[in-house]
Amino acid sequence: MAGFDDLASERSKAQFDVEEMKVIWAGSRHTLEVSDRISRLVANDPVFRKDTRTMLSRKDLFKNTLRKAAHAWKRIIELRLSEEEAAELRFYVDEPAFMDLHWGMFIPTIKGQGTEEQQQKWLPLAYKMKIIGCYAQTELGHGSNVQGLETTATFDPQTDEFIIHSPTLTSSKWWPGGLGKVSTHAVVYGRLIIDSKDYGVNGFIVQLRSLDDHLPLPGITIGDIGMKFGSGAYNTMDNGVLRFDHVRIPRDQMLMRVSQVTREGKLVQSNVPWQLVYGTMVYVRQKIVSDASCALSRAVCIATRYSAVRRQFGLQSNGIETQVIDYKTQQSRLFPLLASAYAFRFVGEWLKWLYMDVNQRLQASDFSTLPEAHACTAGLKSLTTSATADGIEECRKLCGGHGYLCSSGLPELFAVYIPACTYEGDNIVLLLQVARFLIKTVSQLGSGKEPVGTTVYMGRVEQLMQCHCAVQKAEDWLKPSVILEAFEARSMRMSVASAQNLAKFDNQEEGFLELSADLVQAAVAHCQLIVVSKFIEKLQQDIPGKGVKGQLEALCNIYALFILHKHLGDFLSTGCITPKQASLANAQLRSLYSQVRPNAIALVDAFNYTDHYLSSVLGRYDGNVYPKLYEEAWKDPLNDSVVPDGYQEYIQPILKQQLRNARL
Ligand SMILES: CC/C=C/C/C=C\C/C=C\C/C=C/C(=O)SCCNC(=O)CCNC(=O)[C@H](O)C(C)(C)COP(=O)(O)OP(=O)(O)OC[C@H]1O[C@@H](n2cnc3c(N)ncnc32)[C@H](O)[C@@H]1OP(=O)(O)O
Ligand SMILES: Cc1cc2nc3c(=O)[nH]c(=O)nc-3n(C[C@H](O)[C@H](O)[C@H](O)COP(=O)(O)OP(=O)(O)OC[C@H]3O[C@@H](n4cnc5c(N)ncnc54)[C@H](O)[C@@H]3O)c2cc1C
């Protein structure tokens, strides 16, 4: 039968050890074991079903999310899951909810910005979920411009309290997840005012709702901001609105790791940089990069399996039609996404390491790598989420008409994913941060301050401004050194050109605004170089398993040459490669697609996703697509009755031409 046979035969063709590839994808044998066990636990629990999600009303959807969250918490306690296992369980439940913000932002903010004392007071309550918290930064009037926030926190020396207030409509907190209906507490970002002086934005722990009856505390107005894009999708989350009318909190509820306000109302700065007030964003951006590989690989898994099952045209000698995965156009759209999923996985792994390293240094009062960490997390968050959002939509198109059905899993995945291009920093705003960092790095070249970390290559500015690509035949593009040099030269030349253009302006800020579109492209080039170089570094590690390294090498080359092909204008206009070398890269890309083709199904099997997590009829492991699609259609509530509700009021009068007289 179509589907079963197709996927089984594809699996038998794999030229590498899939089980070892699963370990590489998971990060370690231990992580694979945990994620495998927990994903099956979730898949086998009927409370975690998600097949009716797109058909529920918002209220039912939300209540069902609460039920799942409570059940998840119960299972975590009953099974005594470790922190790692609990995080996996929340991941596989796969439903955006207040828990994400509680564990993902509220707790990390207290850890990162609270003093030891504050951590001791608040963290045990949060860990036991005796309180539920969210992250209330964005306002109706300002999101990107954090220094433009209007909420005030005015110190009252008489009572030793802060008065939290929303002075304008635009100062209403707007968007925080978990705020609308659930959170009892929030970290609220507001302007610190002492003695009428504004000391800028700081974080404050504020109780919002009573722990007895869940009603908002006096002076607090709170609600949900309304339906968002798509059915089901992100509507499981209670993104909220919040206003304060002179709400008083004790002084010790200002998060005081960065600066402290004394009993006398004096502001004391610690030795840590003020930017640590933005620290949670760095942490979450790093996490979002890892998550991008999950969302993209999920869409790619669906599109790849379906492309092997789906047949159109081209009768072969055995009388069956061609699998659409065999069309070169399908491969040229699908395989770069497969390669991107792996690339994002490895750059995410590296970014996690970078973040841990920065944190360790911060503990030891070494703040030197913070700007690099900010630039990398901001840039890679932007690059990977934009590519993933576009990639999911491409996967939908790769699945033809059936990809547009909710039962394909792709519409909901897209709707849930796309806000990642906006939250935790609008992707363009974040690239502009990277551009500032690059311009600063270029301007310091020759000053004796050596570029560090991901900008080390800029230290070779003279070589990179002049080098010529050595490629003479297509296979030369398989050499990591050749690829790296082309990407480094392109990035270097784009940053230098931007810096030179900027230098022509008397006013640098005006120049930055004028040139911002070019600056964003320079930032993209730098971030793509990071992704490529981290993939290449990964391949230098010991990679066990038959054929595994070879497949990863092919994917790495596909990622790099696909990016080169997509941004050919950059590579040609900066003179990094010639048109002839560009066409050789294209020829090499085609040959790489043929190399990956027999392994495509095994490469997506290596993600080790359960059918529950994929929630896609098209991406089923067994390939049994058509009977299940057919079965799924009948489950739609519209098919509950043969004759639809409304027939008598609206269809019958048309058919019986009873409306004609009324119209005449
Ligand atoms: C675990 C993961 C799971 C949990 C999450 C669950 C679900 C996720 C779903 C949704 C959650 C969403 C949450 C949110 O969206 S929270 C709100 C996020 N908001 C933003 O990201 C706002 C974006 N804006 C900014 O970050 C800043 O305002 C911006 C950096 C754009 C500008 O700030 P400002 O005007 O103050 O700075 P500049 O003058 O440009 O820079 C000054 C200086 O500071 C450096 N800098 C800036 N940001 C940082 C940072 N984060 N860390 C370190 N350093 C930073 C900047 O480079 C400048 O340095 P220098 O040039 O040396 O002076
Ligand atoms: C689903 C979702 C969940 C969220 N969860 C939370 C949360 O839990 N807590 C929280 O505090 N916030 C949350 N947010 C808010 C989010 O962080 C902001 O929406 C985000 O930071 C973007 O800010 P903005 O809405 O002000 O966009 P704007 O800055 O208004 O962006 C509008 C347009 O202006 C452009 N633009 C803005 N500034 C510049 C510039 N300097 N140069 C060039 N172009 C510019 C942008 O590129 C964009 O095209 C959430 C948002 C969403 C969508």
pLDDT at 512: 97
What are 554-565's pLDDT values in tens digits?
Answer: 999 999 999 999
Burial 195-223 (b: 16+ CB within 10 A, else e): eeeebebbbbbbbbbeeeeeeeeeebebe
Instruction: Output the six-digit token pair for 31.
Output: 């992580």
Contact between residue 507 and residue 479 where contact means Cβ atoms under 8 Å apart? no
pLDDT at 363: 87
Q: 523 phi and psi, to 5 degrees?
A: -65, -40
- Tell me what the mean pLDDT of segment 424-433 comes to: 98
Catalytic residue among 372, 424, 485, 553: 424
Q: Is the pLDDT of residue 357 over 90?
A: yes
Q: Helix-strand-coil percent breakdown of the chain, rounded to 5?
A: 60, 10, 30
Q: Which ligand is nearest to the CA of 424?
A: 1
**For the chain, what percent of residues have pLDDT higher than 70?**
98
Q: CA-CA distance, 173 to 101, in Å (whole number)?
A: 15
Q: Is the pLDDT of residue 2 over 70?
A: no
What are 126-164's pLDDT values in tens digits?
Answer: 999 999 999 999 999 999 999 999 999 999 999 999 999
What are 571-628's pLDDT values in tens digits?
Answer: 999 999 999 999 999 999 999 999 999 999 999 999 999 999 999 999 999 999 999 9
What are 219-235's pLDDT values in tens digits?
Answer: 999 999 999 998 888 99
Q: Which ligand is nearest to the CA of 101?
A: 1
Q: CA-CA distance, 302 to 280, in Å (whole number)?
A: 33
Residues 6 or more apart whose CB falls under 8 angstroms from that of 603 comprise: 21, 304, 338, 551, 555, 596
Mean pLDDT (the chain) is: 96
Q: Which atom of ligand 2 is found nearest the CA of 143?
A: 26
What is the domain class of 111-272 according to CATH?
A: mainly beta
Q: CA-CA distance, 94 to 362, in Å (whole number)?
A: 33
Q: CA-CA distance, 163 to 154, in Å (whole number)?
A: 5
Q: In this structure, which amino acid lies at residue 331?
A: Q
Task: Give the distance (Å) from ligand 2 centre to CA of residue 425.
Answer: 6
What is the secondary structure of 176-200 as a DSSP string? -TTTTTT-SEEEEEEEEEETTEEEE
- Adjacency order of strands within the sheet including 173-174: 173-174, 240-244, 220-224
Q: Which atom of ligand 1 is found nearest the CA of 143?
A: 22
What are 101-132's pLDDT values in tens digits?
Answer: 999 999 999 999 999 999 999 999 999 999 99
Give residue ranges with CB within 6 A of ligand 1.
100-101, 104-105, 135, 137-138, 143-147, 177, 275, 278, 281-282, 284, 287, 370-371, 374, 423-425, 429, 433, 436
Number of H helices, E strands in the chain: 25, 11
pLDDT band (50, 70, 90) for residue 1:
low
Q: CA-CA distance, 522 to 174, in Å (whole number)?
A: 32
Q: Is the pLDDT of residue 457 over 80?
A: yes
Q: What is the pTM of this model?
A: 0.97
Structural domain spans, the chain: 111-272
Task: Give the distance (Å) from ligand 1 centre to CA of residue 278.
Answer: 5
pLDDT at 3: 67
Tell which one of 98, 134, 422 to mutate to probe ligand 2, the residue whose CB is within 8 A of the most ligand atoms.
Answer: 422
Model ipTM value:
0.98
pLDDT at 659: 66
Residues 6 or more apart whose CB falls under 8 angstroms from that of 521 comprise: 494, 570
Contact between residue 606 and residue 555 where contact means Cβ atoms under 8 Å apart? no
Q: In this structure, which amino acid lies at residue 387?
A: A
pLDDT at 318: 77
Q: CA-CA distance, 519 to 496, in Å (whole number)?
A: 10
Q: CA-CA distance, 187 to 185, in Å (whole number)?
A: 7
What are 14-71's pLDDT values in tens digits?
Answer: 999 999 999 999 999 999 999 999 999 999 999 999 988 888 999 999 999 999 999 9
Q: Which ligand is nearest to the CA of 109?
A: 1
Q: CA-CA distance, 119 to 199, in Å (whole number)?
A: 24
Task: Give the distance (Å) from ligand 2 centre to CA of residue 420.
Answer: 10
Contact between residue 373 and residue 405 where contact means Cβ atoms under 8 Å apart? no
Task: Give the distance (Å) from ligand 2 centre to CA of residue 559.
Answer: 29
Q: Which atom of ligand 2 is found nearest the CA of 135?
A: 9
What string of H, E and C letters represents the secondary structure of 323-361? EHHHCHHHHHHHHHHHHHHHHHHHHHHHHHHHHHHHHHH
Is 632 assigned a catalytic role? no
Q: Which atom of ligand 1 is found nearest the CA of 291?
A: 2
Residue with tokens 């099974």: 79
629 φ/ψ sector (left φ>0, alpha ψ -120 to 50, else beta): alpha
Strands 197-207 and 185-194 come out as antiparallel
pLDDT band (50, 70, 90) for residue 260:
very high
